[in-house]
Amino acid sequence: MKLLSLLQKTSGTSFIGAVFAGLVSGISSTGLIALINHAIANRSSTNALVGMSYIAMCVFLIVSMALSQLLLARLVQGITFKLRLQLTNQILTCPLRHLEELGAAKLLAALTEDVEAVSNASFQVANLCIAVAMFIACMFYMMWQSLPLFGIAVVITIVGISSHRVLTNKATYFLKLARSGQNELFAHFRTAIEGVKELKLHTARRQAFLTQELENSANSVKNYKNTATDIFAIASSWGFLFLFGPLGILVFVAPNFINLSTSVLSGYALILIFTFTMPLRVLLNTLPEISKADIALENIQSLGLSLASQNQEITNKLSNSDASKFSDTGINIELENVVHTYGSERDATLFHLGPMNLSFSPGELIFIVGGNGSGKSTLVKLITGLYIPESGAIYIDGKLVTDKNREWYRQHFSVVFYDFYLFERLLGIEHPDIETQATKYLEQLQLNHKVFLKDGRLSTTALSQGQRKRLALLTAYLEDRSIYVFDEWASDQDPVFRELFYTQLLPALKNRGKTVIAISHDDHYFYIADRIIKLDYGQVEYNKRNH
Q: How far apart are CA 234 and CA 254, in angstroms?
A: 29
Yes or no: say if 22 and 133 are a contact pair by the CB < 8 Å rule. yes
Q: Do β-strands 483-487 and 413-416 pair in parallel, antiparallel, or remain unpaired?
A: parallel
- Please indicate, yes or no, whether residues 263 and 378 belong to a single structural domain of this protein: no
Q: How far is CA 456 from CA 159, 368, 422, 438, 515, in A?
A: 66, 33, 14, 10, 27
The count of other CB atoms within 10 Å of the CB of residue 212 is 10
The count of other CB atoms within 10 Å of the CB of residue 302 is 11
- Please indicate, yes or no, whether residues 158 and 301 belong to a single structural domain of this protein: yes
Instruction: Give the model's pLDDT for residue 323.
Output: 47
- Please indicate, yes or no, whether residues 94 and 59 belong to a single structural domain of this protein: yes
The residue among 270, 291, 310 that closes a domain is 310
Query: Nearest-CA neighbor of 389 among 378, 399, 397?
Result: 378
- Please indicate, yes or no, whether residues 233 and 352 belong to a single structural domain of this protein: no
CATH code for the domain in which residue 466 is found: 3.40.50.300
Q: Give 10-residue mean pLDDT values along the chain (547 residues).
A: 62 69 72 71 64 77 76 73 80 81 79 77 68 73 73 74 78 82 80 75 79 85 86 73 65 69 68 65 72 78 70 56 55 90 60 86 91 86 89 91 88 88 79 81 86 82 86 87 90 86 90 90 88 88 78
pLDDT digits (tens, 9 = 90+) for 465-504: 888 888 888 888 888 889 999 998 888 888 888 888 899 8
pLDDT digits (tens, 9 = 90+) for 122-148: 667 666 766 777 777 777 777 777 777
Residue 253 carries which DSSP code? I
Query: Nearest-CA neighbor of 107 among 182, 173, 213, 172?
Result: 182
- Please indicate, yes or no, whether residues 301 and 327 belong to a single structural domain of this protein: no
- Please indicate, yes or no, whether residues 20 and 145 belong to a single structural domain of this protein: yes
Positive or negative torsion for Cα 393, 396, 400, 403: negative
Which positions ≥6 away from 324 have C-beta within 8 Å?
none
The residue among 291, 310, 329 that closes a domain is 310
The count of other CB atoms within 10 Å of the CB of residue 12 is 10
- Please indicate, yes or no, whether residues 171 and 270 belong to a single structural domain of this protein: yes
Roughly what angle, to the nearest 10 degrees, separates helices 240-248 and 262-275?
A: 170
- Please indicate, yes or no, whether residues 138 and 236 belong to a single structural domain of this protein: yes
- Please indicate, yes or no, whether residues 267 and 338 belong to a single structural domain of this protein: no
- Please indicate, yes or no, whether residues 306 and 364 belong to a single structural domain of this protein: no
CATH code for the domain in which residue 280 is found: 1.20.1560.10
The residue among 242, 275, 310 that closes a domain is 310
pTM of the model: 0.69
Query: Nearest-CA neighbor of 483 among 329, 283, 325, 313?
Result: 329
316 found inside a domain: no
* DSSP assignment string, 42-78: TGGG--HHHHHHHHHHHHHHHHHHHHHHHHHHHHHHH
Q: How far is CA 15 from CA 3, 19, 115, 120, 244, in A?
A: 12, 6, 19, 16, 35
Domain that holds residue 199: 2-310
Express the helix, strand and coil content of the chain in percent, nearest 5 each: 65, 10, 20
Instruction: Give the model's pLDDT for residue 314.
Output: 59
- Please indicate, yes or no, whether residues 110 and 243 belong to a single structural domain of this protein: yes
